[in-house]
Amino acid sequence: MVTNRFYFYFCCMLRYLHTAIFAGFLAISINAYAQTQSTTENRRVMLRLCVYEGDTIPWIQLRTVYIYKPLKLKNKKQRKAYDKLVRNVKKTLPIAKEINHIIIETYEYMETLPDEKARKKHIKAVEESLKEQYTPRMKKLTFSQGKLLIKLVDRECNQSSYELVKAFMGPFKASFYQTFASLFGASLKKEYDPENDDAMVERVVVLVENGQL
């Protein structure tokens, strides 16, 4: 008898909770619509709907929230190193994403060109444009940011910087830039390893991408 009564109350609570959630979503939707209407009469708020147990309710996809174990930073030195990594990722990740976009755009355009001569001409123009656009930005990067950028390019493009230069500009220029980078203790062949050496970098990158840092 007690079990049946508990089950009855439990069902009532579920029904009340379902009604409250629906009312909350409805209130948010009405409020958003009212605010939009007050801004301009031509704008409308479009919401997806779904049917749940016979009821039509708004369907809103929430952003994924990534949960990691709390960091165990033993001292101020480790905290300082972590803060520096966050700053470096925020500065270099946008550049790596821009490079990936440029590579995709360049590759797709080159596919439309009629012959090798036209492709080489276009690559030359792209190279000059990149030097003009990115040289001032690259000069502002620190040594550690430059090394991080090389790895993030590999993360975003699924290819090392060396392979990208080799594919678009030829093996000679790839070897030249690799030799130049090695003079400063860097390597264009450096690959991104999110499971081991770059596990902390990957954690920061994911949180930065998701707006959690």
Does the residue 198 lie in any domain? yes
In a domain, 162, yes or no: yes
131 and 45, same structural domain?
no
80 shares a domain with 55? no
* 85 lies in the same domain as 44: no
Residues 89 and 15 occupy one common structural domain: no
The count of C-alpha atoms lying within 13 angstroms of the C-alpha of 161, restricted to the half-sphere facing its C-beta, is 23
| pLDDT of the residue at 86 | 95
Does residue 110 sit within a domain? yes
177 occurs within a structural domain? yes
In a domain, 67, yes or no: no
- Both 116 and 161 in one domain: the answer is yes
Residues 8 and 110 both lie in one domain: no
Q: What would the two tokens of residue 137 be?
A: 């930005």
> Hey, which residues does 48 pair with through a beta bridge?
59
The answer as to whether 43 is a domain residue is yes
Q: What is the pLDDT of residue 43?
A: 64
CA 64 to chain centre: 13
Please, what is the Cα angle at 74 between 71 and 80, to 5 degrees? 80
Asked whether residue 98 falls in the same domain as residue 165, the answer is yes
Residue reference for tokens 């479009």: 46
Q: How far apart are CA 89 and CA 98, in angstroms?
A: 14
Amino acid type, 40: T
In a domain, 155, yes or no: yes
Using N-to-C axis directions, what is the helix angle for 161-169 and 143-157, rounded to 10°? Answer: 70
Residues 83 and 48 in one domain: no
- Residue 55 sits in the same domain as residue 90: no
pLDDT of residue 206: 93
Domains: count for the chain:
2
Per the structure, the complete domain to which residue 117 belongs is given by 76-209
pLDDT tens by residue, the chain, 213 residues: 444 444 444 444 444 444 444 445 445 555 555 555 544 555 666 777 777 778 888 877 777 788 888 888 889 999 999 999 999 999 999 999 998 898 888 888 888 888 888 888 888 888 888 888 888 888 888 889 988 998 998 999 888 888 888 877 778 777 877 786 776 677 888 889 999 999 999 999 999 998 888
- Domain-located, residue 66: no
Domain match, 53 and 82 both: no
81 and 55 within one domain = no
Do 113 and 163 lie in one domain? The reply is yes
Burial (CB count within 10 angstroms: exposed 0-12, middle 13-18, buried 19+), residue 44: exposed
Write down the pLDDT at residue 31.
Answer: 54
